[in-house]
Amino acid sequence: MKYNFDKIIPRANTNCVKYDLRKAVFGNPDVLPMWVADMDFETPDFAREAVMNRAMHPVYGYHFKDEPYFNAIQGWLLRRHQWEVPTEWMSFVPGVVCGFNMAVLAFTKEGDEVIIQSPVYPPFHHAVSEHGRKLVYNSLKIGAGGYEMDFELLEQQAKTAKMLILCNPHNPVGRCWTREELQRVSEICLKNDVLVISDEIHCDLVLPGFKHTPYATLGEEAAQHCIVFHAASKTFNLAGLATSTAIIPNKELREAYVHYVEALEAHLGNIFGKVATQASMEQGDEWLGQLLDYVQGNIDYVSDFLKANLPKVRFFKPQATYMMWLDFNGYGLSEEELWQKMTQEAQLGFNRGSDFGQEGKGFFRINLACPKATVEEAMKRLTTVF
Ligand SMILES: Cc1ncc(COP(=O)(O)O)c(C=O)c1O
């Protein structure tokens, strides 16, 4: 089957964050919205059918996650990432962000140091600062070929920190960390008894030519000192269904975590997320292959366009995710001037770089999970102003 990613789907007036909050976020209801990390593509047919079939049953009562549900996730992780995950390692969480917040609360106490690698997805910052823990910034470095981790700094910081929240692959810089890089992280964290939370929500969106390394496959010791989060939500455009998985190989950690989640009654979830996730993990390979090719096409288009028309905008091509991280500092404008130009003159709704950390000043994150026509329009608008 050939899927059509060119189709324009009107999303306004559907309580959609990306479209319906434009006025509130950008001060302009007419920006072309390319911010929030969901896709403007149709959620695939097999996921929608699963939801519709379940919706036909006239009772929407409490449910539980059964064996076929976990088997579907297991099969997916094995097929896509060669990662064998026993059922007992997995538990439901109502979202990855909620999941890592609960991990911070369950395994650190007020005042404890938690490391994040900024610029990084804003909820990483909040998961630490909003709970009275101390944020430690292991800022990424910009090398000749792209973003890199600062291992020397990490060595120092790990001596007193309790936890590292890893973004694997990394949003917004689009790095698919190599096994060697992750191995160094695990050596440092194991030596210093730092618990690693590995957010792997973007792992299925690794672009052609790159390979995701699940943190827990680095070795037995690393596996015993981590919590991995996975979800079908980014991959198959199911974010509104709030359904994710915590994967914890260590029995003691797992029991403590599940106890914490259950005490909050956060382990139930919704019936539609269950069936859509299961159907996607069972049937999604072909659709995902086509999606990744399409997204790569959009990335290649933007890369070529910027090089030819706006050479002052600097960027590294992403290795994973459908986002690009663009550096506009070459224009010598303040962050506020850039924001005004982008939102009011070009009428473009991109994410503001500094929301990902102070390293992101003068950057914008642009979401390319949209029809090519939208991407072309965005590039046209950029050239009218920059
Ligand atoms: C790194 C990362 N983690 C988590 C999320 C959101 O996860 P959830 O909707 O499951 O809370 C996002 C969404 O953009 C993300 O980029």
Atom of ligand 1 nearest to the CA of 120: 1
User: Is the model's pLDDT at 298 over the cut of 90?
Assistant: yes
Atom of ligand 1 nearest to the CA of 234: 13
> What is the mean predicted confidence (pLDDT) over 215-243?
98
Nearest one of 272, 270, 214, 224 to 249, comparing CA atoms: 224
The encoded tokens of residue 247 equal 């994967």
- CB-based contact 343:31 (threshold 8 Å): yes
Place of tokens 């190599």: 178
pLDDT of residue 206: 98
Q: Which residue's C-alpha comes closest to atom 7 of ligand 1?
A: 96
Q: Ligand 1: does its nearest atom lie under 6 Å from the Cβ of 116?
A: no
Question: Does 219 have pLDDT greater than 90?
Answer: yes
Question: Residues 305-336: pLDDT tens digits?
Answer: 999 999 999 999 999 999 999 999 999 999 99
Q: What is the mean pLDDT of residues 99-111?
A: 98
Separation of alpha carbons 52 and 306, rounded Å: 42
Please tell me the predicted confidence (pLDDT) of residue 49: 98
Which residue's CA is minimally distant from atom 13 of ligand 1? 37
Measure 85 CA to ligand 1 centroid, in angstroms.
21
Q: What is the dihedral of CA 77, 102, 179, 86, to 10 degrees?
A: -30
Question: Average of pLDDT values for 142-170?
Answer: 97
167 lines ligand 1 (CB under 6 A): yes
Cβ 239 under 6 angstroms from ligand 1: yes
Distance between CA atoms of residues 197 and 163, nearest Å: 7
Under DSSP, is residue 62 helix (H, G, I), strand (E, B) or coil?
coil
* Model pLDDT, residue 186: 98
Q: Tell whether the model's pLDDT for residue 160 goes beyond 90.
A: yes
Nearest ligand 1 atom, CA 239: 9
DSSP3 helix / strand / coil % (the chain, rounded to 5) = 45, 15, 40
Q: Tell me the pLDDT band of 1, cut-offs 50, 70 and 90.
A: confident
Q: Which atom of ligand 1 is nearest to the CA of 231?
A: 10
Q: pLDDT averaged over the chain?
A: 98
**Rounded (10°) CA dihedral 322, 323, 324, 326:** 170
Pocket residue to mutate for ligand 1, from 124, 168, 201, most atoms within 8 A of Cβ: 201
| DSSP three-state, residue 33 | strand
* Mean pLDDT confidence for 119-126: 98
Q: How many CA within 13 A on the CB side of residue 55?
A: 9
Instruction: Walk me through the domains of the chain, giving residue ranges and CATH numbers.
Output: 17-44+285-385 (3.90.1150.10), 60-282 (3.40.640.10)
- Reported as a single tens digit per residue, the pLDDT across 230-270 is 999 999 999 999 999 999 999 999 999 999 999 999 999 99
Q: What is the mean pLDDT of residues 19-48?
A: 98
